[in-house]
A and B are shown apart, each in its own frame.
Chain A
Amino acid sequence: MTDVSMRDLSHEERAKQERELREVWQTPSGWRYWTSVNNTEIGLWYGATAFIFMLFAGVLALLVRVQLAVPENGFLSAEVFNQAFTLHGTVMMFLFAVPVFEAVAIFLLPSMLGARELPFPRLAAFGFWSFALGGVFVCGSIFFGAAPNTGWFMYPPLATDKAYSGVGADIWLLGLSFIEVASIAAAVELIAGIMKCRAPGMRINMMPLFAWYLLIVAGMILFAFPPLIAGDILFEMERMFGWPFFDAERGGDPLLWQHLFWIFGHPEVYIVFLPAIAIMAMIVPTFAQRPIIGYSWIVLAAVGTGFLSFGLWVHHMFATGLPQISLAFFSAASEAVAIPTGVQIFVFIATLLAGRVIFSVPMLFGAGGLAIFVVGGLTGVMVALVPFDWQAHDTYFVVAHLHYVLIGGMLFPVTAGIYYYYPLINARRLSERLGKIAFWLMFAGFNVAFFPMHLAGLRGMPRRVFTYPADVGWEWFNLISTLGAFIFAAGVAVVVIDVVRPKHRQPPLEVNPWQAGTLEWISEPEETWGVRSIPIIKSRYPIWDQPGLLDDIKAGRYYLPDVQDGARETLVTSVLDARPEQCLRVGGTSIMTMVAAFSLGGVFIALTFHWWMLTLVCATLTFAAITAWLWTGTAQIPRSEVRDIGLGKSLPLYRSGPQSVGWWGMFITMAGDGTAYGSLMFGYFFYWTIHDDFTAGHAGPGMLWPLLAASLFLLAWLAMLLARRVNGSDRRWLMRAMLIFSAFLTAAGCGAGLAGPHLNAMDPTVHVYPAIVWVVAIWTAVHGALAIVMQAYCLARSLAGRMSARHDMDLQNVVLYWHFLVITAVTSFGVLGLFPAVR
């Protein structure tokens, strides 16, 4: 980045810019406040909602502890106990641990990267509303005695037994699928934001470590959540229509669910842990008053953990009778992941040793959390060993281990983050005194509650029992655990009181009260524009190393100090060196995201209770809302092609293809979609491995129809490539004709794909083979149908004059979708048609 000369604005000019910026970025008032899509509001709502869910799940844990305090207790019935511990685990993992990191990321990232907004603010709002609605639905079920009751991992055949699990299992499956949609939305937003929206000059060697961690975590979400979504689909098909994916009598296998669940479930632990450690990576340098030692080592740790965490899932399945050599591979990988995990802790210790440490509440929570986490990590090394695990499996030892990992590795650092970042919310600090009281209550209470569980577990106390006899030597451990749990809860209550107590008598602090070095501290809580002007970054700790930065930003001396066309704008920069590439106009306040989220929620809720008509109505409404949202808010053709962003630089306002964030959004989404599809195909081959003849003598879809379908999809894809080509040379009628032609081919392909199983009278309820064939065919056909919608959308855009040879973002993105679709279709129908013949 070459130095540029900065110009001082006149007082009037500055005032005018500030007035216009305020107006454009204004948060609506009244009930419309809730239609805001600004990252500070969404982040705050997201975080607050996640915390409310956490407190709710905490109360459930206390009920569980009261029940277990003494032997033969009758405080809760077995049924309520089952619902309470299932919901406790489910809510803590899905409604607190993951969403709270999304909340922190959405709140902090834009200002940390020096951006005004992340590229898809409306998507973030959509994700929030999906999460909030799904969460209320799942939590509320316990008040009707209808909560899931089979453990947070929902193992079949217990969870597929409708007589036992009732509607609770459906609530879990559909409610959480809905929330997983929100997580994937967040992943898209974060990856695109971190890669493309950093301030000019913020090369990848200068990115805040928080951003590095979040980038890895978002990538992990893309590969971890989709297998669970695929599993949910199979599970719900079994529960709703009797397709026997997990029913051993009809060729299914409950172990497939365990595989799919834990391929999600183990990376999930790191998805939860890494962002919390990311917060520590921001806090430690501030209080050590020096840059982090071993920046590259942290990157190693984040990336290494991200990869290795996908090779651990079977260590949750050591007791299922898999070949021991398979178990050994996973045991080895589980030990290997200790290396990058340890590296991070040593980096923090080194930084603290080299700096002059200021002790404060955030440091207290951080250090205490890491101490707890290390204990959990060490018991993790123990249970990663197969022989030990066989002894400890399904005992309270594992309960102790997982709470040490999650509370030490996640809850404590997040609480540290609350104390650290609270001044960004309303310019006031939380109480030092209350913070210390809260910390010691939580730290002591935690260890009193969970340490005895190791011992109870080693004495053989199994998990998930609602009571136990008096004479087996578990009484004292349980009573102590219960006491500890209440001390811990008292600590959490102190934090809650500290956060919600009125603070208007406290004088507001100056900006950056901790004297931190990173960019998130430039944001002014009372302004909604994010950054006044987008700075040029030359250091990892710009506030420490770039004198006058704060004043220059505030005086509007950097990029984009003004408003044009009343649009919300931020900069798009290149991935490696953060060179400015585009001035991006992002979506503003809109109710469409809320309508889309609520109607999609309606679809999932109506499905739970088999209200088919309502499902259809809600699905139509969702479709309409999303279409309206896309039509009015994306790929807008700007009034002028370029925009003067200040400092003598002009950037294009419209870019398409790989240069546009929309293309990245599509690519990232489809990577997740492809993973879900891969998981379904894994299921297909899984059934092949476990049976001598996986068709069990049932008719297959034949060769003719599947191969015809594959060919039609291939032709449709070629037609799309041609459409893009002729559009490039502005032959728009030919392009429109190609779109229509391709849509017909796609429809024919979908028909042919479904004709195979249909004409061969494959009945998905008799055996798992026809069921898995149907699922793969339907998955592909649904994607085909979606492709037709996109083709129609492009056609409509072209006819409405909203798409042209120069402005072809819609078409570019749809062609990208088609690249993924053609791989899906050729694989699906190739395998369905040919594999039974060649195996």
Chain B
Amino acid sequence: MRLIPKEIESLWTLFTAPTIWAVHFLVCYVLVAVYCEKAAAAGFTFAQMRLVLVLITLLALAGIALSAWLAWRQWGFGSGDPPHDAPTQEDRLLFQGFATLLLSGLSFVSVVFVAVPLFFIETCQP
């Protein structure tokens, strides 16, 4: 078994990083929304939940970084420049790698954006 997956021939890899963003966003939103409604019955504090969410954020960022690395590899570690518009399978793969890398970057920034409130807001309703 290999640690890093081989290159996969699929359109879906393009969506990995944004999907991680979406899952991270939903987890943050749902956990906070449920906690704030059920705080009385919850067995943990806001601070503990915040910590869990920060850990989940780090996990999400790690996932996106991995997706970015795989994309970077597929892009040949930047060996060729865009536009990657030749009618060959190779250029198609390079294009996919590059586009995935760009999307990983956007997703990374967006996850950081969404995580910012966790550092500044200490209760449900300050």
- B32: which of A1, A303, A323 is its contact (CB, 8 Å)? A323
Interface string of B25-66 (1 = CB under 8 A from A): 100110011101110010000000000000000000000000
**Interface check A539, CB cutoff 8 A:** yes
B121 touches A328 (CB 8 A): yes
| Assembly CA distance A326 to B113 (angstroms) | 13
Residue contact A324 to B87, C-beta cutoff 8 Å: no
CA distance A328 to B15 in the complex (A): 25
- Interface range on chain A (Cβ under 8 Å from partner): 35 or more
Give Cα A622–Cα B125 distance, bound, in whole angstroms: 52
Q: Give the residue among B15, B84, B113 with the most A Cβ atoms within 10 A.
A: B113
Of the listed stretches A304-312, A483-491, A629-637, chain B binds: A304-312
Q: Which residues of chain B are within 8 angstroms of A206 by Cβ–Cβ distance?
A: 85, 87
Other-chain residue from B33, B94, B102 in contact with A300 (beta carbon distance below 8 A)? B102
Instruction: Determine how close the nearest CB of chain A comes to the CB of B116; give it in whole angstroms.
Output: 6
Residues of chain A lying within 8 A (CB to CB) of residue B22: 307, 310-311
The residue on A at minimum CB distance from B10 is A576
A329 lies within 8 A of B114 (CB): yes
The reply to whether the CB of B68 lies closer than 8 angstroms to some CB of chain A is no
Chain B positions within 8 Å of A203 at CB level: 87, 89, 91-92
Contact residues of A between 312 and 370, Cβ < 8 Å to B: 322-326, 328-333, 335-336, 339-340
- Cβ-based interface call for B95 (8 A): yes
Q: A303-B18, A307-B22, A311-B22 are in contact. Are A340 and B106 (CB under 8 A)?
A: yes
Tell me the A201-222 residues at the B interface (CB within 8 Å).
201, 203-206
Contact A539 B87 (CB under 8 A): yes
Q: Taking the nearest CB of chain B, how far is it from the CB of A542, in angstroms?
A: 10
In the assembled complex, the Cα of A303 lies from the Cα of B19 at a distance in Å of 11
Sorting the interface of chain B by its residue count into under 10, 10 to 19, 20 to 34 or 35 or more gives 35 or more
Q: A297 on the interface (CB 8 Å rule)? A: yes
B9 to chain A, nearest CB (A): 7
A296 an interface residue at 8 Å Cβ cutoff? Answer: yes
Instruction: Assess the A689–B29 pair: CB atoms within 8 A.
Output: no
Check: A156 CB closer than 8 A to any chain B CB. Answer: no
User: Are A295's CB and B121's CB within 8 A?
Assistant: no
Determine whether A394 belongs to the interface, using a CB cutoff of 8 Å to chain B.
no
> Is A16 engaged at the interface, CB distance under 8 Å to the other chain?
no
> What is the bound-complex CA distance between A780 and B98, given in angstroms?
43
Residues A205 and B84 in contact, CB atoms below 8 Å apart: yes
A residues in contact with B70, CB < 8 Å: none
Known: A295-B82, A332-B116, A540-B85. Contact between A339 and B109, CB under 8 A? yes
Of residues 278 through 314 on chain A, the ones whose CB sits less than 8 Å from some CB of chain B are: 291, 294-297, 299-300, 303-304, 306-308, 310-311
Select B102's contact among A296, A322, A331, A538, beta carbons within 8 Å. Answer: A296
Those of B67-126 within 8 Å (CB) of chain A: 82-85, 87, 89, 91-92, 94-96, 98-99, 102-103, 106-107, 109-110, 113-114, 116-118, 120-121, 123-126
Report yes or no: B121 in contact with A325, Cβ–Cβ below 8 A: yes
Q: Across the interface, do B89 and A577 meet the contact criterion of CB distance under 8 Å?
A: yes
Given contacts A205-B91, A295-B82, A577-B92, contact A300 B32 (CB under 8 A): no
| Known interface pairs A311-B22, A339-B106; A205-B121 also in contact (CB < 8 Å) | no
Q: How far is the CB of B82 from chain A (nearest CB, A)?
A: 6
Q: In the complex, A340→B102 CA distance in Å?
A: 10
Among residues of B, the one whose C-beta sits closest to the C-beta of A327 is B117
Interface core residue of A333, A538, A690 (most chain B CB under 10 Å): A333
| CB proximity of A768 to chain B, nearest CB, Å | 16
Contact B15 A303 (CB under 8 A): yes
- CB-CB under 8 A from B14, the residues of chain A are 303
Q: Which of B84, B89, B91, B114 has the most CB of A within 10 A?
A: B114
Instruction: Known contacts A307-B22, A539-B87, A577-B89; decide if A300 and B34 are in contact (CB<8 Å).
Output: no
Also in contact, A291 and B32, with CB within 8 A (given A332-B116, A690-B37): no
B3 at interface by CB-CB < 8 Å: no
Distance from A324 Cβ to chain B, minimum over Cβ atoms (Å) = 6
| In contact, A296 and B98 (Cβ under 8 angstroms) | yes
Task: Give chain B nearest CB distance to A115 CB in angstroms.
Answer: 18
Bound-state CA distance A329–B118 (Å) is 9
Of A201, A296, A310, A335, the most chain B CB neighbours within 10 A belong to A296
Nearest chain B CB to A16 CB, angstrom units: 32
* Max count, chain A CB within 10 A of own CB: residue among B9, B29, B94: B29
Q: Are B102 and A332 in contact (CB under 8 A)?
A: no
Cβ < 8 Å to B, chain A residues 538-578: 538-540, 575-577
Residue numbers in B under 8 Å from A825 (CB-CB): none
A389 to chain B, nearest CB (A): 15
A332→B85 contact, CB < 8 A: no
- Known A323-B33, A328-B121, A340-B106: A311·B25 in contact at CB below 8 Å: yes
Does A124 sit at the interface, judged by CB under 8 A?
A: no
Q: With an 8 A cutoff between CB atoms, is A188 at the interface?
A: no
Query: Is B114 touching A325 in the complex (CB atoms < 8 A)?
Result: no
Residues of A within 8 A of B38 (CB): 689
**Within 8 Å of chain A (Cβ to Cβ): is B11?**
yes
Query: Which of A294, A310, A329, A538 is within 8 Å of B117, CB to CB?
Result: A329
A352 to B35, CA, bound (A): 51
Q: Is B32 touching A201 in the complex (CB atoms < 8 A)?
A: no
A540 shortest CB reach to chain B, Å: 5
Closest residue of chain A to B18, judged by CB? Answer: A307
Q: Is there an interface contact between B82 and A204, defined as CB atoms closer than 8 Å?
A: no
Q: Given the known inter-chain contacts A205-B95, A332-B116, please indicate yes or no for A326 contacting B83, CB distance below 8 A.
A: no
Residues of the A chain whose Cβ atoms lie less than 8 Å from the Cβ of B89? 203, 577
- Decide if A224 is an interface residue (CB 8 Å cutoff): no
**What's the least CB distance linking B86 to chain A, in Å?**
8
Known contacts A296-B95, A538-B87; is A336 also within 8 Å of B109 by CB?
Answer: yes
- Nearest A residue to B9, CB-CB: A576
Check if A575 sits within 8 Å of B25, measured CB to CB. Answer: no
Contact (Cβ within 8 A) A295 B83: yes
B12 shortest CB reach to chain A, Å: 10
- Provide the bound-state CA to CA distance between A206 and B38, in Å: 51
B96 touches A335 (CB 8 A): no
Residue in B closest to A542 when the chains form the complex, CB atoms: B87
Does A583 reach chain B (CB closer than 8 Å)?
no
Question: What 12 new A-B contacts, CB under 8 Å, besides A324-B124, A336-B114?
Answer: A205-B91, A205-B92, A304-B106, A306-B18, A307-B22, A308-B18, A322-B33, A324-B121, A332-B114, A340-B106, A577-B92, A690-B37
The 7 closest A-B pairs by CB, nearest first: A328-B117, A205-B95, A307-B18, A300-B102, A323-B124, A538-B87, A323-B36
List 25 A–B pairs whose Cβ atoms lie within 8 Å, in order of A's numbering: A195-B11, A203-B92, A205-B91, A205-B96, A294-B82, A296-B82, A296-B98, A304-B110, A307-B21, A307-B22, A311-B21, A311-B114, A322-B33, A323-B124, A324-B121, A325-B123, A326-B36, A328-B116, A329-B29, A329-B114, A333-B110, A537-B87, A575-B11, A576-B9, A577-B89
Residue positions of A touching B, CB distance < 8 A:
1, 195, 201, 203-206, 291, 294-297, 299-300, 303-304, 306-308, 310-311, 322-326, 328-333, 335-336, 339-340, 537-540, 575-577, 689-690, 692
